[in-house]
Amino acid sequence: MLLNWQYSDRSTSLSGVSVILSLIFANVGDDRSIGPGRNASLYSTWRIAILFGRGYKRVSGSIPDYSGAFLGGSMGRDSGRPLVAVVYDLGAADALEIIGSARRVCDLLFVCDSGGPDGGFLADRLPQLRDYAEVCDITGMTAAQAADAVAAARPDGIVTFSERRLPVTAMLAQACGLPYHSPELVALLTDKQAQRDALRVAGVDDVRCHRISLSDNDFDLDAVLAEVGLPAIVKPRTGGAASRDTYRVRTRADVLAALHAHPDDEFVIEQLLVGDPSVAGPSWGRRVSVESFVVDGTVVPVGITGKFLLAEPFRETGQFAPATVSAPMAARIEQLTAAAIGALGVRWGATHTELKLTAQGPRVIEVNGRLGGNLADMFRRGAGFDVVGAVLEVALGRMPRQRPKSAARVVYQRYLAPPMRVTTVQELRGLDVVRGLPGVQRVEARIGPGAAVDWRRGTEECLAVVYGSAEDHDELRARVDAIDTAFDPVYADFEESAR
């Protein structure tokens, strides 16, 4: 198949496979930062936008089909195919992944709001997105107007892959009479205090948690600390994805310092769950995540993802699959996940549940109402499973026909995080060496020389991501050690202190 691009008055035909693969899988070691909130899911869309920005226009061609084939043609709606509205923004899947996966499932309507403080990501991408799919631009509309605009397209399902678009997706689903999280459920999925309360009342998990805020006149820190205990975790009550603005606190003064850094925001302070290194193994993180599909209240787990050890204070350094937990422990993890999902009242959609592996058994960290970040790549490489396409099927109210295959190899993503004290990166020395290591399939640099970094932005503030595979977990351990040894960044500026 050919992908035809036209520039000025000249046209060139290129292989669709090679162009799309270069856009999605090329290394970006020489590229500058792609801005706040950067993550792997936006890379290919960002790269496409640069191509269009230089004067190229898509005349005709093909879109990658992640179910296993490249298919060409228009994204216009087929009369015999269902339509799924995707409320689009920065999230777990980018536009090309969604479009490619939809080829075997449905037609698409991208619903976009480029207004407000979070609208910059979409504002830059809407013109290119319209080249590939139908777009319903609800920027500037009231809730009622947006609901009318989406309902006019008569979608058969609705979904979002973006944490910050969960509330509007729930509102639109309710207005259109489509199966999805209710607005009340989204409040439980995005409010850490409300979720903890619901899990406690249902008898699923009883992690001690309390809302704290400097703006609360009734705030009694001593009483809260007596209830929750120290050490503990302080994190935003809402938002705070990817461990953003998350603090480990050991003293009363630590708690106050965290709050004074965000005087107008609400936080929660939670009991610090202590991981047991014997559960997953001492070389691996004391946490796992579970992706689940829920159709009419039936919960089906589709994969447990292992984690590497955290960087301070709670920043992820990557993930791998399959996880290293035993079969009996995996069963306990899946059982607790299903109980938590049921306790919150989830009846439709995809969920991403994070759990701590303690000596007393798995404990719930949080349940999220969407697919987990960066996991589409993991499922595709490790299990031959198009998880984005499966989420679209769930949005239509049916369990996916495809299931993940047993992994023949271990696949991983290694996030290269700077130390907490670093504020400026001078050089990403060693990335070229990392690219040449056995098992490394690609490397994405997230920032450029001279870039400012801040550990408070959490997991997203990593310097680079390494994608690769290994024969088994012993080889994975050796390969990750080799990556960490080869990567030798140069730092320019440092904080005097960091919690």
For 16-27, the pLDDT digits (tens) are 333 333 333 333
Strands of 209-212's sheet, edge to edge?
Answer: 209-212, 267-271, 232-236, 247-249
What is the rounded CA–CA span in Å between residue 458 and residue 66?
A: 30
Give per-residue pLDDT as tens, 88-140: 999 999 999 999 999 999 999 999 999 877 778 888 888 888 888 899 999 99
Question: If you average pLDDT over every residue of the chain, what do you get?
Answer: 85
Please report the pLDDT score of residue 21 as a whole number. Answer: 34
Q: What would the two tokens of residue 463 be?
A: 């310097």
Please report the pLDDT score of residue 133 as a whole number. Answer: 86
Please report the pLDDT score of residue 118 as a whole number. Answer: 74
DSSP letter string, 157-180:
EEEES-GGGHHHHHHHHHHHT-SS
- Tell me what the mean pLDDT of segment 214-241 comes to: 92
Question: Do you know the residue count of the chain?
Answer: 499
**Cβ-based neighbours of 224, under 8 Å, separated by 6 or more:** 210, 212, 269
Give per-residue pLDDT as tens, 66-76: 343 223 333 44
Half-sphere exposure of 16 (CA within 13 A, CB side): 17
Please report the pLDDT score of residue 234 as a whole number. Answer: 97
Confidence of residue 14 (pLDDT cuts 50, 70, 90): very low
DSSP label of 193: H
Q: What would the two tokens of residue 157 be?
A: 């399902």
Please report the pLDDT score of residue 497 as a whole number. Answer: 64
What is the rounded CA–CA span in Å between residue 250 and residue 499?
A: 10
- Tell me what the mean pLDDT of segment 403-408 comes to: 88
Model confidence at 408: pLDDT above 70: yes
Work out the angle between the directed axes of helices 16-25 and 43-53 (0-180°, nearest 10). Answer: 120
Q: What would the two tokens of residue 80 be?
A: 């015999």
Give per-residue pLDDT as tens, 459-490: 888 999 999 999 999 999 999 999 999 999 99
Element (H, E) at 189: helix 183-190
Model confidence at 147: pLDDT above 50: yes
The C-alpha angle with vertex 456 and arms to 450 and 459, in degrees rounded to 5, equals: 85
Model confidence at 9: pLDDT above 60: no
Percent of the chain with pLDDT over 70: 84
Confidence of residue 78 (pLDDT cuts 50, 70, 90): low
The answer to whether 414 and 318 have CB atoms below 8 angstroms apart is: yes
List the beta strands (DSSP E) in 73-206: 83-87, 107-112, 134-137, 157-160
- Tell me what the mean pLDDT of segment 212-239 comes to: 93
Q: What would the two tokens of residue 42 be?
A: 């936006």
Question: What's the helix, strand, coil split of the chain in %, to 5?
Answer: 35, 30, 40
Least confident piece of the model among 163-167, 401-405, 493-497: 493-497
Instruction: Indicate the residue type of 323.
Output: A
Peptide bond into 313 cis (omega under 30): yes
What is the rounded CA–CA span in Å between residue 33 and residue 249?
A: 31
Please report the pLDDT score of residue 339 as a whole number. Answer: 98
Model confidence at 266: pLDDT above 60: yes
Please report the pLDDT score of residue 498 as a whole number. Answer: 56
What is the rounded CA–CA span in Å between residue 392 and residue 161?
A: 10
Please report the pLDDT score of residue 383 as a whole number. Answer: 94
CA 196 to the chain's CA centroid: 21
Q: Which backbone phi and psi does 274 adopt, to 5 degrees?
A: -95, 120
Q: Read off the pTM.
A: 0.85
- Ordered structural domains, the chain, with CATH: 2-181 (3.40.50.20), 208-271 (3.30.1490.20), 277-494 (3.30.470.20)
Please give the C-alpha separations between residue 71 and each of 95, 372, 408, 456, 485, in angstroms, as whole numbers: 16, 27, 27, 42, 42
Please report the pLDDT score of residue 499 as a whole number. Answer: 54
Q: Which backbone phi and psi does 27 adopt, to 5 degrees?
A: -70, 150
Give per-residue pLDDT as tens, 412-445: 999 999 999 999 999 999 999 999 999 999 999 9
